């Protein structure tokens, strides 16, 4: 694991979004790397990590029997993936919530390349619109997934309610995307050869969704100006 962490900073952006490259380079350790990525994306305000594509790729790799990390049957590794990755995503959420609760409004007075005021404003609007269910729905929305937890902390959402809804969201997100990858891999083993193309397609959809939302917001702002 120590050697794995040392290698991470040297990876290029194209390497980060290539599941085949990561699997070739790290083998079964890719599973453990995924734990780190999920905690960071869900709790440390870094929204540009490939959470969705990681889950899909890991499910597919298990489905086509290309990765082994628990030394058991594919079902054992699938269950292990679901349990451990759900716990990782949930842990990231709790971390983000506690940071937001501790630092509170100071976040709104700081604007950086990653922690932008507009991201927090948009996420808070999403949170106010959907209520507690935003912690479930927001899991499937890029950017919102990262910032919804800190907004919940800043607004001092009831801790017990946050834990319940956040766990439901984490479990639903991890299970749905990982299982889609797994069953597609089982049904169509040849997909394992095209995982990078599938990943690029998923990223393209994400970019389109973000771009559409950006343009929609710009149009709304211009109407109210």
Nearest to 93 by CA among 176, 188, 22, 168: 168
The answer to whether the CB of 215 falls within 8 A of the CB of 122 is no
Residue 200, C-beta contacts closer than 8 angstroms, at least 6 positions apart:
17
- Mean pLDDT of the residues in the chain: 79
Whether 12 shows a pLDDT value over 70: the answer reads no
Whether 142 shows a pLDDT value over 60: the answer reads yes
Q: Is the whole-model pTM more than 0.85?
A: no
Per-residue burial over 161-189, b = 16 or more CB atoms within 10 Å of its CB, e = otherwise: ebeebbbbbbbebbbebbbebbebbbeee
User: Token match 């030394």: residue?
Assistant: 71
Kindly indicate the confidence band of residue 80, based on its pLDDT and cuts at 50, 70 and 90.
Answer: very high
Residue 187, C-beta contacts closer than 8 angstroms, at least 6 positions apart:
none
Nearest to 96 by CA among 139, 53, 128: 139
C-alpha distance across the termini of the chain, in Å: 53
Whether 90 shows a pLDDT value over 60: the answer reads yes
The answer to whether the CB of 135 falls within 8 A of the CB of 163 is no
Whether 83 shows a pLDDT value over 70: the answer reads yes
User: Token match 């040849």: residue?
Assistant: 190
Whether 48 shows a pLDDT value over 80: the answer reads no
Task: Tally Cβ neighbours within 10 Å of residue 190.
Answer: 8
Give 150-183 pLDDT, tens digit per residue: 888 887 888 898 899 999 999 999 999 999 999 9
Q: Of 120-134, 137-151, 211-225, which gets the smallest average pLDDT? A: 211-225
């Amino acid at each position: 694991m120590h050697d794995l962490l040392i290698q991470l900073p040297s990876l290029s952006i194209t390497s980060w979004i290539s599941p085949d490259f990561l699997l070739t380079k790290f083998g079964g350790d890719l599973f453990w790397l995924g734990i780190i990525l999920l905690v960071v994306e869900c709790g440390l305000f870094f929204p540009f990590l490939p959470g969705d594509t990681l889950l899909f790729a890991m499910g597919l790799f298990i489905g086509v029997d290309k990765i082994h990390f628990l030394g058991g049957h594919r079902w054992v590794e699938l269950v292990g993936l679901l349990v451990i990755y759900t716990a990782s995503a949930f842990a990231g959420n709790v971390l983000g919530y506690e940071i937001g609760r501790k630092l509170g409004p100071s976040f709104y007075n700081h604007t950086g390349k990653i922690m932008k005021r507009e991201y927090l404003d948009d996420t808070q609007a999403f949170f106010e619109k959907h209520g507690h269910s935003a912690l479930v729905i927001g899991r499937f929305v890029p950017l919102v997934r990262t910032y919804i937890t800190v907004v919940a902390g800043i607004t001092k959402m009831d801790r017990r309610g946050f834990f319940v809804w956040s766990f439901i969201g984490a479990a639903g997100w991890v299970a749905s995307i990982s299982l889609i990858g797994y069953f597609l891999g089982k049904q169509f083993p040849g997909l394992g050869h095209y995982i990078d193309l599938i990943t690029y397609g998923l990223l393209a959809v994400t970019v389109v969704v973000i771009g559409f939302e950006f343009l929609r917001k710009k149009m709304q702002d211009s109407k109210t100006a």
